[in-house]
Chain A
Amino acid sequence: DAGVIQSPRHEVTEMGQEVTLRCKPISGHNSLFWYRQTMMRGLELLIYFNNNVPIDDSGMPEDRFSAKMPNASFSTLKIQPSEPRDSAVYFCASRWTGFTEAFFGQGTRLTVV
């Protein structure tokens, strides 16, 4: 398996633009997580899905953020409109439900100018 695949790896956008981050989890995994990592706040959980259903989105910073998982092999995280404070590395991770390893993608480095 190729592992968790995220795209794009890098994104530079202007304030106010819409940004869409994409994630393909490992085939067969039924839990998917979106995290945001910054030096100041560390690795924050934004939202997670079980069997394609959003279970906990309490970490989503505000209504500008939304996430979807239309099927077991694809998820998106959208920011509209984007702001400079959204600049961070966004990670997607997947795993089997339970005490199993979470596999991470290589992340998307987002810069909003």
Chain B
Amino acid sequence: TQLLEQSPQFLSIQEGENLTVYCNSSSVFSSLQWYRQEPGEGPVLLVTVVTGGEVKKLKRLTFQFGDARKDSSLHITAAQPGDTGLYLCAGAVNTDKLIFGTGTRLQVFP
């Protein structure tokens, strides 16, 4: 069974702080995605990383895929209240099967 463990589970910070969320597994994934989910809605894609060691930036968000394609991180610089939400990593197994991590619930206070 493939498992994706995220840490921390909960994060509560002040506006302007930096933070990093981790996504770890013992399995190798063909790709890894990060999604954000807001209350009452389904998850929405932020980024897809495919190559080991790949780094992608999306404004204040930086995503990295581990060299061995077993782990990933999401770094947010100068967090804003609009970043509040549930962050989920998702790994693709054999291209098709998409499993989600345990989630990190982020709260950014003004």
Contacts and interface: CB of A to CB of B under 8 A. Distances in A.
B35 to A, nearest CB: 8
Q: Contact residue range for chain A?
A: 20 to 34
A72 to B, nearest CB: 16
Interface in B58-110: 88, 90, 92, 95-103
Interface string A91-108: 101010111111111110
A99 B100 contact: no
A55 B44 CA distance: 24
B7 interface: no
A106 B96 contact: no
Interface of A: 4, 31, 33, 35, 42-45, 48, 50, 55-56, 91, 93, 95, 97-107
